[in-house]
């Protein structure tokens, strides 16, 4: 039996820090149980045993040679891209953005996989937000908008108090998919995604007492307006894709209106454990979030719609299997497209550090299985020294 | 380390009763020394003014609320970029600059120490990470404790008579400082923020009950203010009183001061708490009454929280205030509730000279400076960035030192508001350089308990600012000729010459470790963070640090 705990699980952005983990069993075991978390620990703790410290063009190499090659690539680059951050610590992000600043690189803390990840709505009007404990202790109605946290953040609803069978709290789910979360809903509304904007605008009108055709939204509005405290949980299901910004803006406008005579907050469901912290670091170091270009010698915010077409070298920082990019630093194996790959100690398994929970609460990550591999922060700091000379 | 002789300048060192005397200031090994050898670098300061490095006792420069404000206001920084150089990191400015820009610009202004005045303890790791990226200055942060449910519980359970301090509460506060690396204790609208988070409520007097907790703001002030006093922390309890911004709030402010009577206390941004009138009406000034109280009570100090006409970003743990600004038509508004501890509200704002309320606020701030009899009690701040950016300090100094300039500016402000202040009553006071040195470094350092800062006596930290003595005081204080930090020249001719990480300043008070056994079950019921993970133990976040021990 090799149990460690309590430790912080970085398997998703919920960063549960009450976890006991046993790595001696097949696939790892977590208490409280979480399949996602167990897989995450297992993948990082077990799969990399025996892996090379680095590869160059897919062939095993030592770290020093790989660093030298990476530095050479970065020195020659006209406009490198630094991205990823899914499993990064705050310390990794600080080092990565320092390097990007020196290189004049583009930094993205957003997923590049989505064709249109959605421009943020918060800078337009703001938002009302809260930490998990506030929602758990105060919100009588919690509305999950087109997300399935039971799958993506398996302990979220329990951590928000829905495991304790409180009769006075209502879980509302807006989703036309049969998800595990929808299966727990007290009230389920299942219109298609293209009706989301209309629904939010209609709810806003109902809040203002305007005469509108409410349909099934009438019941939802009644529930929201009957309680002094409510919460909306949302994520890419609302904000990604075409018109995502408008839908997000409509949500925040609705919440702002509801806040006039009750307390209403939102919680954005971010996927990976490292992206909130990386975005926070990017904000404090540059003043901007999401995508920031340092090419002109100072930070410039890049809108989601601007194409990234002049990037000639990519540096992927702690981002799952490294299947893209010339240089990748990560705790999982590289794919075929990677020119230089350097294995890192996975934060939260083999390395410590700080991570920011999806609600912004900073937490420490612990070492449960020591590894000689360097952290991404250490490698990035070395690279900064190399390219700076 | 470098040895430096600053030669022939007019030294203004009020803490050591030096008022413009031409003398040399010698620096070695990061300290002020009596003399240095002939090989020391000589800085010719003839025709210049020499002061200790500036100390900002109340600003908002790091942490989740500051960062949320950055995220909210990208357009404000677009036209104020800061290019990277071989030595410097890039960044952006505006009213809420990025971290590196914050450190560089404070340094370029001659400031060497800054206090972040409101940090949620739960977010300590975030605050510490940001402060590590804020170079050039030594920095401290105050932890928010006026709406902490765990402390409410300890206060309620203590069953002690008013004024008596529970040892458990005292130990808990010391534990919290130890757990976070904080420097001092901040109370923001005690009890009122908890009420806001419940259902948009608030407390309106010191005797309103905080629903669900069976405590009142007065009990919180007495218990925590008393505990901080008994602990002998280097900085007394730092109070943002209830009813900020509400006409008539001077009654609450005076009540708060009387409640803390006999204890050391610092009142933040007093300007925002100096209003007469009725809650639903227009405010008027009651600054003179508050100054009268201060003059009879040397145990109370304040910073002004001057508003400056132009852009600002209001950010406060007093989230109910932000909702008021939202309802006045603000385009952007952020609210953030932090479990157990505090709230947060952010609204970008602009103070306009023609607006009655803004002009009155501006006038009240000047009254506090100009009518106050003891500059050691009333210190300079704009509550950056709430009343305006720290970059407006030079203009504020000119308003205080240059009567003609002030009268010109008064003439441009809303006259109906100005008539309700004492500014038209022949107020001809002009601050001296020594008084400026008091309100910008000597008094804040003394009030913070930083014995080696704010002065130029032997043994002081070698943080020194040298200004060219110009008639235009705004220009003079905006562009120091030299800024020396830790004995090394950081700024010369208006340019940064070297970088310095700066120190984290933390305080430490003894406590009974058994208090953990009391706190752990209270944490478990409330926080979503494990008790054992709450304290920041990672050296990388807390170093380099200078610990200031409590007196008792």
Render pLDDT for A140-165 as a digit per residue (tens, 0 to 9): 999 999 999 999 999 999 999 998 76
How far apart CA B50 and CA B12 sit, in angstroms, is 6
CB atoms within 10 A of CB A183: 11
Element (H, E) at A247: helix A244-258
| Partner residues linked to A329 by β-bridges | A317, A342
Amino acid A201: pLDDT: 97
Subunit contact B333:A256, Cβ cutoff 8 A: yes
For B159, what's the count of Cα atoms within 13 Å in the CB-facing half-sphere?
Answer: 1
| For residues B327-353, average pLDDT | 97
How far apart CA B385 and CA B382 sit, in angstroms, is 7
Amino acid B147: pLDDT: 98
Local confidence band at B164 (pLDDT 50, 70, 90 cut-offs): confident
Across chain B, mean pLDDT equals 97
CB atoms within 10 A of CB A54: 24
Instruction: Please tell me if residue A68 touches chain B, with a CB cutoff of 8 Å.
Output: no
Nearest to B352 by CA among B344, B361, B343, B342: B361
| For residues B335-340, average pLDDT | 98
Q: Running DSSP on this structure, what letter comes out for residue B166?
A: P
Amino acid A331: pLDDT: 74
Nearest to B390 by CA among B379, B400, B382, B380: B382
Give B-chain residues touching A360 at CB under 8 angstroms.
Answer: 64, 123, 126, 336
DSSP A314-359: EEEES-SSB-SSSEEEESS-B-TT-SEEEE-PPBTTTB-EEEE-TT
In whole angstroms, what separates CA A195 from the centre of its chain?
Answer: 26
| Tokens at B425, concatenated | 């009553």
Residue bearing tokens 């307006």? A225
Subunit contact B336:A128, Cβ cutoff 8 A: yes
Residue bearing tokens 């058994």? B514
Subunit contact A285:B538, Cβ cutoff 8 A: no
| For residues B53-68, average pLDDT | 98
A24: closest CA of chain B, how far (Å): 24
Subunit contact A299:B91, Cβ cutoff 8 A: yes
How far apart CA A274 and CA A276 sit, in angstroms, is 6
Mean pLDDT, 10 residues at a time, chain A of 389 residues:
88 97 89 95 78 91 96 94 94 98 94 63 94 97 98 97 78 97 96 96 96 92 95 95 92 97 96 94 97 97 78 89 72 80 93 97 95 94 90
Amino acid A44: pLDDT: 86
The number of C-beta contacts closer than 8 angstroms across A and B is 185
Which one of A131, A132, A298 has the shortest CB-CB distance to B84?
A298
Condensed to tens digits (0 to 9), the pLDDT of residues B523-541 reads 988 999 999 999 999 999 9
- The answer, yes or no, to whether the previous bond of B76 is cis (omega within 30 of 0) is no
- Choose the mutation target among B91, B339, B534 for the interface with A, i.e. most A CBs under 10 Å: B339
Helix ranges restricted to H, B73-190: 74-77, 99-108, 124-132, 149-158, 167-180
Residue of A nearest to B327 (CA): A260
| Tokens at B358, concatenated | 């803004």
Amino acid B278: pLDDT: 95
Interface of A with B in 155-194 (CB under 8 A): 159
Residue of B nearest to A364 (CA): B533
Amino acid A323: pLDDT: 57
CB atoms within 10 A of CB B189: 28
Sign, CA dihedral A152-A155-A156-A158, equals: positive
User: Using an 8 Å Cβ cutoff, are A239 and A118 in contact?
Assistant: yes
Local confidence band at B372 (pLDDT 50, 70, 90 cut-offs): very high
Instruction: Describe the crossing of helices B217-231 and B149-158 by its angle, rounded to 10 degrees.
Output: 90
Amino acid A165: pLDDT: 60
User: Using an 8 Å Cβ cutoff, are B348 and B332 in contact?
Assistant: yes
Give A-chain residues touching B62 at CB under 8 angstroms.
Answer: 284
| For residues B444-451, average pLDDT | 98
| For residues B155-182, average pLDDT | 91
Give B-chain residues touching A298 at CB under 8 angstroms.
Answer: 81-84, 90-92
For A27, what's the count of Cα atoms within 13 Å in the CB-facing half-sphere?
Answer: 6
Q: Coil, strand, or helix at residue A225?
A: helix
Q: What backbone phi and psi angles, to 5 degrees, belong to A261?
A: -130, 20
Amino acid B110: pLDDT: 98
- Choose the mutation target among A6, A126, A387 for the interface with B, i.e. most B CBs under 10 Å: A126
What is the rounded radius of gyration, in angstroms, for the C-alpha atoms of chain B? 22
Which one of B92, B122, B537 has the shortest CB-CB distance to A361?
B122
Which is more confidently placed, B163 or B417?
A: B417
Residue of B nearest to A289 (CA): B71
Subunit contact B126:A362, Cβ cutoff 8 A: yes
A60: closest CA of chain B, how far (Å): 33
CA distances from A71 to A65, A89, A320, A345, B367 (A): 10, 22, 22, 20, 59
**Torsion of the alpha carbons at B230, B231, B236 and B239, rounded to the nearest 10:** -80
Which one of A130, A132, A286 has the shortest CB-CB distance to B336?
A130
Subunit contact B533:A17, Cβ cutoff 8 A: yes
Residue A389 makes CB contacts below 8 A (sequence gap 6+) with none
Q: Coil, strand, or helix at residue A128?
A: strand
How far apart CA B346 and CA B335 sit, in angstroms, is 7
Subunit contact A138:B67, Cβ cutoff 8 A: no
Element (H, E) at A387: helix A376-387
Amino acid A344: pLDDT: 93
Q: What backbone phi and psi angles, to 5 degrees, belong to A334?
A: -80, 155
Class of domain A129-258: alpha beta
Residue of A nearest to B67 (CA): A284
| Tokens at A339, concatenated | 């020119």
Give B-chain residues touching A361 at CB under 8 angstroms.
Answer: 122-123, 528-529
User: Using an 8 Å Cβ cutoff, are B411 and B362 in contact?
Assistant: no
Q: What backbone phi and psi angles, to 5 degrees, belong to A212?
A: -130, 160
Condensed to tens digits (0 to 9), the pLDDT of residues B185-208 reads 999 999 999 999 999 999 999 999
Domain boundaries, chain A: 54-116+273-347+371-387, 129-258
Instruction: Describe the crossing of helices B124-132 and A275-286 by its angle, rounded to 10 degrees.
Output: 40
- Choose the mutation target among B72, B74, B85, B94 for the interface with A, i.e. most A CBs under 10 Å: B74
Set out the domains of chain B in order of their start, with CATH numbers.
62-445+498-504 (3.20.20)
Whether B462 has a pLDDT exceeding 80, the answer reads yes
């Amino acid at each position: 039996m090799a149990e460690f705990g309590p430790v912080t699980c970085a398997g998703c952005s919920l960063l549960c820090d009450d976890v006991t983990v046993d790595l001696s069993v097949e696939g790892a075991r977590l208490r409280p149980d979480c399949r996602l978390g167990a897989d995450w620990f297992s993948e990082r703790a077990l799969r990399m045993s025996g892996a090379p410290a680095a590869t160059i063009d897919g062939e095993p190499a030592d770290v020093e040679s790989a660093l030298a090659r990476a530095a050479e690539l970065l020195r020659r680059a006209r406009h490198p891209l630094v991205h990823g951050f899914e499993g990064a610590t705050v310390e990794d992000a600080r080092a990565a953005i320092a390097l990007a600043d020196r290189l004049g690189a583009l930094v993205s803390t957003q997923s590049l996989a989505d064709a249109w990840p959605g421009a943020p709505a918060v800078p337009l009007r703001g938002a009302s937000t809260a930490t998990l404990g506030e929602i758990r202790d105060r919100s009588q109605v919690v509305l999950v908008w087109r997300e399935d946290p039971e799958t993506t953040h398996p302990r979220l609803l329990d951590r928000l108090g829905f495991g304790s069978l409180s009769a006075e709290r209502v879980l509302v789910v807006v989703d036309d998919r049969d998800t595990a979360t929808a299966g727990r809903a007290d009230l389920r509304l299942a219109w298609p995604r293209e009706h989301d904007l209309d629904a939010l605008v209609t709810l806003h009108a109902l809040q203002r007492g305007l005469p509108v055709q409410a349909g099934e939204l009438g019941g939802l509005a009644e529930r929201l307006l009957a309680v002094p405290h409510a919460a909306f949980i949302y994520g890419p299901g609302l904000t990604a894709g075409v018109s995502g910004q408008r839908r997000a803006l409509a949500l925040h406008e609705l919440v702002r209106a509801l806040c006039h005579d009750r307390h209403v907050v939102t919680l954005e469901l971010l996927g990976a454990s490292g992206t909130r912290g990386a975005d926070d670091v990017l904000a404090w170091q540059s003043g901007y979030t999401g995508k920031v270009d340092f090419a002109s010698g100072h930070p410039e915010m890049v809108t989601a719609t601007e194409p990234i077409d002049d990037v000639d070298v990519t540096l992927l920082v702690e981002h799952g299997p490294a299947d893209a990019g010339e240089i990748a630093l990560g705790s999982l194996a590289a794919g075929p497209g990677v020119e230089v790959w350097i294995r890192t100690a996975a934060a939260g398994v083999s390395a410590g550090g700080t991570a920011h929970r999806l609600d912004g609460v900073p937490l420490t990550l612990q070492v449960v299985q020591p590894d000689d591999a360097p952290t991404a922060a250490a490698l990035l700091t070395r690279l900064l020294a190399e390219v700076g000379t | 380390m470098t040895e430096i002789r600053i030669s022939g300048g007019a030294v203004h060192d009020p803490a050591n009763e030096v008022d413009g005397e031409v003398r040399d200031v010698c620096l070695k090994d990061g300290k002020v020394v009596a003399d240095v050898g002939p090989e020391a670098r000589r800085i010719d300061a003839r025709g210049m003014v020499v002061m200790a490095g500036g100390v900002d006792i109340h600003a908002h420069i790091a942490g989740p609320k500051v960062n949320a404000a950055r995220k909210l206001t990208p357009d404000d920084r677009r036209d104020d970029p800061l290019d990277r150089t071989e030595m410097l990191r890039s960044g952006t400015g505006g009213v809420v600059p990025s971290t590196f820009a914050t450190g560089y610009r404070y340094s370029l202004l001659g400031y060497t120490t800054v206090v972040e005045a409101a940090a949620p303890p739960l977010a300590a790791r975030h605050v510490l990470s940001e402060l590590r990226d804020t170079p050039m200055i030594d920095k401290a942060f105050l932890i928010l404790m006026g709406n902490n449910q765990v402390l409410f519980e300890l206060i309620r359970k203590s069953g002690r008579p008013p004024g008596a301090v529970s040892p458990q509460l005292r130990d808990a506060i010391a534990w919290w400082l130890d757990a976070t690396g904080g420097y001092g204790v901040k109370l923001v609208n005690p009890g009122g923020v908890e009420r806001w988070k419940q259902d948009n409520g608030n407390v309106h007097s010191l005797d309103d009950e905080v629903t669900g907790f069976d405590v009142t703001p007065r009990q919180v002030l007495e218990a925590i203010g008393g505990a901080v006093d008994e602990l002998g922390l280097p900085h007394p309890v730092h109070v943002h009183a209830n009813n900020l911004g509400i006409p008539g709030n001077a009654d609450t402010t005076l009540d708060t001061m009387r409640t803390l009577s006999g204890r050391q206390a610092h009142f933040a941004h007093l300007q925002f708490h100096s209003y007469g009138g009725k809650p639903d009406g227009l405010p008027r000034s009651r600054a003179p009454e508050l100054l009268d109280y201060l003059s009879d009570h040397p145990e109370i100090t304040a910073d002004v929280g001057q508003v400056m006409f132009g852009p600002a970003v209001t950010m406060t743990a007093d989230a109910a205030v932000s909702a008021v600004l939202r309802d006045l038509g603000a385009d952007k508004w952020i609210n953030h509730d932090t479990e157990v501890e505090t709230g947060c509200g952010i609204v970008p704002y602009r103070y306009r000279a023609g607006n009655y309320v803004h002009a009155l606020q501006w006038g009240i701030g000047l009254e506090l400076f100009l009518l106050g009899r003891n500059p050691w009690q009333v210190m300079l701040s704009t509550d950056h960035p709430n009343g305006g950016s720290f970059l407006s300090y030079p203009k504020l100094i000119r308003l205080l030192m240059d009567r003609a300039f002030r009268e010109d500016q008064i003439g441009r402000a809303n006259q109906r508001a100005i008539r309700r202040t004492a500014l038209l009553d022949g107020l001809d006071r002009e601050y001296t350089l020594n008084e400026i040195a008091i309100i910008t470094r000597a008094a804040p350092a003394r009030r913070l308990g930083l014995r080696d800062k704010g002065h130029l006596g032997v043994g002081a930290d070698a943080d020194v600012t040298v200004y060219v003595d110009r008639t235009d005081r705004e220009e003079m204080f905006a562009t120091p000729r030299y800024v020396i930090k830790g004995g090394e020249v950081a700024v010369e001719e208006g340019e940064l010459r070297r970088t310095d990480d700066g120190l984290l300043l933390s305080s430490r008070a003894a406590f009974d470790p058994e208090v953990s056994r009391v706190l752990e079950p209270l944490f478990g019921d409330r926080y979503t963070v494990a008790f054992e993970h709450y304290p920041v133990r990672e050296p990388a976040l807390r170093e380099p640090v200078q610990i200031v021990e409590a007196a008792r």
